[in-house]
Amino acid sequence: MENRGMTDKSMSRTLAIEIATKTMTVINPANRGLRVLDLLEKHGFRRVAEPDLEIVSDRERLVAWLRDAFRIA
């Protein structure tokens, strides 16, 4: 399986806030999920399913989703 150097890693709160803040600059909420995926790839995180519209419509919910999706037990 080729993952272009992407590994399972945890996400810091600071990076989650940065990604969420950059995502919220996208005017059309329907396109924010794509922006999240682009930013995750840029930071070397594994590919995940696009978050739901209600998650990408609220910055704090997006931060929580990111932290939860990239938490290592």
Q: Where are the domains of the chain?
A: 13-69
Could you tell me if 40 and 16 are in contact, meaning their C-beta atoms sit under 8 angstroms apart?
Answer: no
Q: Could you tell me which residues are beta bridge partners of residue 45?
A: 7
The pLDDT confidence band at residue 1, using thresholds 50, 70 and 90, is: very low
pTM value is 0.86
Place of tokens 């990239």: 70
Confidence of residue 3 (pLDDT cuts 50, 70, 90): very low
Check whether 12 has a pLDDT greater than 80.
yes
Q: How far apart are the first and last CA of the chain?
A: 23
Q: Note the pLDDT tens digit of each residue in 14-56.
A: 999 999 999 999 999 999 999 999 999 999 999 899 999 999 9
Distance CA(73)–CA(42), nearest Å, equals: 23
Phi, psi of 25 (to 5 degrees): -75, -15
